A and B are shown apart, each in its own frame.
Chain A
Amino acid sequence: MTIDLEAETAAEAVIDRKRRTLTIRKYVPVLGTLVLLCIMYGIGIANYENFYNTQILLNIFIDNAFLLVVAIGMTFVILTGGIDLSVGSVVALTTMVSAVTLNHGWPAPLVMITVLVMGSVLGFGMGCMIHYFELQPFIVTLAGMFLARGLCYVISTSSIPIDDPTWITLSQKRIPIGSFSITPSVIIAAIIVVIAAVVLAWTRLGRTVYAIGGNQQSATLMGLPVARVKIAVYTISGFCSAAGGLLLSFYMSSGDPLHAVGMELDAIAAVVIGGTILTGGSGYVVGTVLGIIVLGLIQTIITFQGTLSSWWTKIFIGALLFLFVLLQRTVVRRTPS
């Protein structure tokens, strides 16, 4: 009896240890991003005057609030093992529709609701096609990308300025934090981040997202609502793109069919650098936030350096992507499947 108990405790200890190493391993990609972030920040402070200024860090959020929101939606999609290439175009379409409807005298709240619904509907449609017709996310969202960008040009082929008072207030207002300040967009982005993190970590929807990314077939056999959740993540991504588009229209005060060209790549890069694994099933919203800060820091350092041209940003992002997928690769390989 005692022997049995001892064996049991020993077995439990082994399982416990395994679980603990697994838990640690789960966080390795995110921790890697955090370490990189600290190193980059350290390099910045060591080399450039005034880099330590907290406002520099806050400016990263001010300049990238829209990208952050878009990347949050992308995180949901990538966690299920899918991909959404349409985000940049949906962002551009949102700025166009906002600009046109505002110029037609629609009230600001109605415009916001309209574009958010429009983005969600687009995402919902793509999700339905992916799930019910078993088409690949890559090709469906590619079509969505062309569709939304084409619609932008149907609305107008040139930039449309926005002079609605609400938009102007939202773009110019600064909210003081101590001696520093942020924009309302940062607060909106922060709220979306918190909601997304809570949904992913503690709701049934969130857990199903991870389950589908881990193994869709198992998730289906377990009786999880795969259809509903898969369509939901694309709807969420569409909603986030529209929200990101609103933030961009605050930031730019215009609607332009050329806004956010290539933003899908930045969003995917931020999600991957943030430690979310592209095959799905593993990753955190926190990682995506860190990924955005890393992208922002690259731009900031290049601006501070002054001698480096803007195209170095792309090369650095490419190099970082490479580093992180290598890191993921080694982590995934070591994890017993």
Chain B
Amino acid sequence: MSAVLKHRLFWPVAALLVLLLSNLIFTPGFFNIEVRQSHLYGSLVDILRLSAPLLLVALGMTLVIATGGIDLSVGSVMAVSGALACLYIVHQPDQGAPGTIIVACLLGIAIALVLGLWNGFLVSVIGLQPIIATLILMVAGRGLAQLITEGQIITVNSPGYRFLSAGYWLTFPFAVILAAVVVALTVVLTRRTALGMLVESVGGNPRASRLAGVSSRTLIWGVYVFTGLCAGIAGLMATANVSSADGNNTGYLIELNAILAVVIGGTSLAGGRFSIAGTVVGALLIQTLDTTIYTTGIPAQTTQLFKAIVVIAICLIQSPAFRAKLRRRPAAPVAPAPAAPSKAEVSL
């Protein structure tokens, strides 16, 4: 039992289960899953389907954070990639043609890769702090996306493009399959090869890794490109879901949700270790929270309040300093103990 309690995924998984179960109070048939016309239907399937973009973005973010970096530009990259794909589709005579959709998706992914290369270049070659390097694209990318859409909302009329988000393949939602494939490939690439360990070593200490013969620069550059790719695919999914591209709102605040998902999953923001399983749980938790708030009829915008509480709770539980203080003075757990002035601090 204590082994289960101590597992780093215990709290996130427990929170997810509690949240799912609490849905039963408001929606009795919450756990029902049925097959209609060989399509899976049900609230759980919806949560999976809607969490696909966030899951992809959070996956890229996990690797970036594992190298000790952060990528704030993912939302903007999503907006740019989705906008470009939609722009291409509306200018074609046949919006539903498979060729059109494939070219549109490739265009969206290509621009996302270019933006990822740019971020990686700033961080690994020029040596800017990741937070500021990606802040540049976070601000400018929104402008770029609006430039592409000319400030309008581009609406596409293409069932084929919509398939990316709402389509079904082999009874499963296509978006879920796509996200699952990307996650599986990443797990294989990072955990079945040395890649994951190298990423962690760069996050732990870039200088020591370089001296040990790890090409930190290429690796760091690579993870930003990967995050760009993930954000690009997510951008296609998000715009396909609403059949339109809005430079202002596509992927809005997703960087924060993705970081949240990563942190909930137990990946340390300081870098040096990561857990893809944790990120998956984190992303599902956030989407479940959103869906739960919707179904309970509480104003949707107050989700942020619950997210804040979840972040604070999970961060406190994961904080060694907080645990130590809990243990030292169990009588008054909330009151912060006055720190001894001579205590040496290591800034994170």
Interface residues of A (CB under 8 A from B): 81, 83, 128-129, 131-136, 138-140, 142-147, 149-151, 153-154, 157, 216-217, 220-221, 223, 225-227, 257, 265, 268-269, 272, 278-279, 309-319, 321-322, 325-326, 329
- Cβ distance B92 to chain A, nearest Cβ, rounded Å: 25
Instruction: Produce 1/0 per residue, B285-309, CB < 8 A to A.
Output: 0000000000000010111111111
**B301–A257 touching, CB < 8 Å:** yes
**B135–A321 touching, CB < 8 Å:** yes
B269 neighbours in A (Cβ, 8 Å): 136, 138-139
B247 neighbours in A (Cβ, 8 Å): 311
**B308–A147 touching, CB < 8 Å:** yes
Q: Which residue of B lies closest to A128 (CB)?
A: B336
Instruction: Using A139-B315, A143-B312, A150-B301 as known contacts, say yes or no to A133 and B135 having CB atoms under 8 A apart.
Output: no
**Which B16-56 residues sit within 8 Å CB-CB of chain A?**
none
Instruction: Using A311-B151, A321-B135 as known contacts, say yes or no to A326 and B305 having CB atoms under 8 A apart.
Output: no
- Cβ distance B289 to chain A, nearest Cβ, rounded Å: 11
**A321–B146 touching, CB < 8 Å:** no
Instruction: Produce 1/0 per residue, B111-133, CB < 8 A to A.
Output: 00000000000000011110111
**A311–B127 touching, CB < 8 Å:** no
**A131–B339 touching, CB < 8 Å:** yes
**B305–A134 touching, CB < 8 Å:** no
The stretch from B96-104, B200-208, B256-264 touching chain A is B256-264
**B336–A318 touching, CB < 8 Å:** no
A223 neighbours in B (Cβ, 8 Å): 341-342
A131 neighbours in B (Cβ, 8 Å): 339
Tell which of B140, B302, B303, B304 touches A318, judged by Cβ atoms closer than 8 Å: B140
Q: Which residue of B lies closest to A266 (CB)?
A: B139
B256 neighbours in A (Cβ, 8 Å): 142, 145-146
With A129-B312, A329-B127 known, 20 other A-B pairs at CB within 8 A are: A131-B339, A133-B336, A139-B315, A142-B259, A143-B307, A146-B305, A147-B308, A150-B303, A157-B299, A157-B301, A220-B344, A223-B342, A268-B135, A278-B129, A311-B142, A312-B147, A317-B139, A318-B139, A325-B128, A325-B132
Interface residues of B (CB under 8 A from A): 70, 126-129, 131-133, 135-144, 146-147, 150-151, 247, 256, 259-260, 263, 269-270, 299, 301-309, 311-312, 315-316, 319-322, 325, 336-337, 339, 341-348
A83 to B129, CA, bound (A): 13
**A132–B341 touching, CB < 8 Å:** no
B128 neighbours in A (Cβ, 8 Å): 325, 329
B140 neighbours in A (Cβ, 8 Å): 314-315, 317-319, 321-322
- Cβ distance B164 to chain A, nearest Cβ, rounded Å: 26
Interface centre among A132, A278, A322 (most CB of B within 10 A): A322
Q: Which residue of A lies closest to B143 (CB)?
A: A314
- Cβ distance A311 to chain B, nearest Cβ, rounded Å: 4
**B143–A313 touching, CB < 8 Å:** yes
**A265–B135 touching, CB < 8 Å:** yes
A-B contact list, 15 entries, CB within 8 Å? A138-B131, A143-B312, A146-B304, A147-B308, A151-B305, A154-B302, A157-B299, A217-B347, A265-B138, A278-B129, A278-B132, A309-B147, A315-B140, A321-B140, A329-B126
A272 neighbours in B (Cβ, 8 Å): 132
**B301–A325 touching, CB < 8 Å:** no
Instruction: Using A144-B308, A272-B132, A321-B139 as known contacts, say yes or no to A226 and B301 having CB atoms under 8 A apart.
Output: no
- Cβ distance A295 to chain B, nearest Cβ, rounded Å: 11
Q: Which residue of A lies closest to B336 (CB)?
A: A132
Instruction: Using A134-B319, A134-B321, A217-B345 as known contacts, say yes or no to A153 and B139 having CB atoms under 8 A apart.
Output: no
**B143–A140 touching, CB < 8 Å:** no
A311 to B148, CA, bound (A): 10
A151 neighbours in B (Cβ, 8 Å): 305
**A132–B325 touching, CB < 8 Å:** yes
Listed from nearest, the 3 A-B pairs whose CB atoms lie closest are A318-B140, A150-B305, A314-B143
Interface of A, secondary structure class, is: helix
A314 to B345, CA, bound (A): 38
A313 neighbours in B (Cβ, 8 Å): 143
- Cβ distance B346 to chain A, nearest Cβ, rounded Å: 7
Q: Which residue of A lies closest to B347 (CB)?
A: A216
B263 neighbours in A (Cβ, 8 Å): 139
**B339–A132 touching, CB < 8 Å:** yes
A311 neighbours in B (Cβ, 8 Å): 142-143, 146-147, 151, 247
**B131–A83 touching, CB < 8 Å:** yes
**B139–A269 touching, CB < 8 Å:** yes
A269 neighbours in B (Cβ, 8 Å): 135, 139
- Cβ distance A152 to chain B, nearest Cβ, rounded Å: 8
A153 neighbours in B (Cβ, 8 Å): 299, 301-302, 304-305
**B143–A278 touching, CB < 8 Å:** no
- Cβ distance A252 to chain B, nearest Cβ, rounded Å: 19
A144 to B308, CA, bound (A): 7
B344 neighbours in A (Cβ, 8 Å): 217, 220-221
A90 to B123, CA, bound (A): 31
**A318–B143 touching, CB < 8 Å:** yes
Instruction: Using A136-B348, A311-B247, A314-B139 as known contacts, say yes or no to A146 and B307 having CB atoms under 8 A apart.
Output: yes
Interface centre among A136, A272, A310 (most CB of B within 10 A): A136
Instruction: Using A135-B319, A139-B269 as known contacts, say yes or no to A314 and B339 having CB atoms under 8 A apart.
Output: no
Q: Which residue of A lies closest to B144 (CB)?
A: A315
A14 to B140, CA, bound (A): 45
A318 to B139, CA, bound (A): 6
**B260–A142 touching, CB < 8 Å:** yes
Q: Which residue of A lies closest to B313 (CB)?
A: A143
Q: Which residue of B lies closest to A216 (CB)?
A: B347
- Cβ distance B2 to chain A, nearest Cβ, rounded Å: 24
B139 neighbours in A (Cβ, 8 Å): 265, 269, 314, 317-318, 321
B307 neighbours in A (Cβ, 8 Å): 143, 146, 150
Instruction: Using A143-B311, A146-B305, A272-B132 as known contacts, say yes or no to A133 and B316 having CB atoms under 8 A apart.
Output: yes
- Cβ distance A246 to chain B, nearest Cβ, rounded Å: 23
